[in-house]
Amino acid sequence: MTKSAKREQRMDKWTSKWKAFRRDENGFCCIPGMSRVRFVIILFILCVIAGIILAFTIPRVPGWSFNNDNPINGSSNIHFARLPANFTFDTNLNLQINTQSNFLPLTFNKIHATIFDSDTNKQIGEGEVGHTKIPAKAFFNYQLPVSFSYSAINDTDITCTSSCV
pLDDT digits (tens, 9 = 90+) for 38-48: 888 999 999 99
Same domain, 43 and 67: no
> Which of helix, strand or coil describes residue 94?
strand
Same domain, 127 and 107: yes
Same domain, 45 and 88: no
What's residue 52's pLDDT?
95
What's residue 135's pLDDT?
92
What's residue 129's pLDDT?
92
Distance (Å, whole) CA 105 – CA 67: 21
Same domain, 68 and 149: yes
Same domain, 38 and 95: no
Distance (Å, whole) CA 141 – CA 95: 6
pTM: 0.63
Same domain, 110 and 150: yes
Integer CA distances (angstroms), 20 to 6, 37, 41, 163, in order: 21, 15, 20, 80
Range of the domain at 151: 63-164
38, 57, 76 - which closes a domain = 57
Nearest to 117 by CA among 75, 77, 84, 152: 152
What's residue 59's pLDDT?
87
Query: Is the four-CA dihedral 155, 159, 160, 161 of positive or negative sign?
Result: positive
What's residue 109's pLDDT?
93
Number of domains in the chain: 2
What's residue 40's pLDDT?
87
Q: Give pLDDT < 70 ranges for the chain.
A: 29-30, 155, 160-165
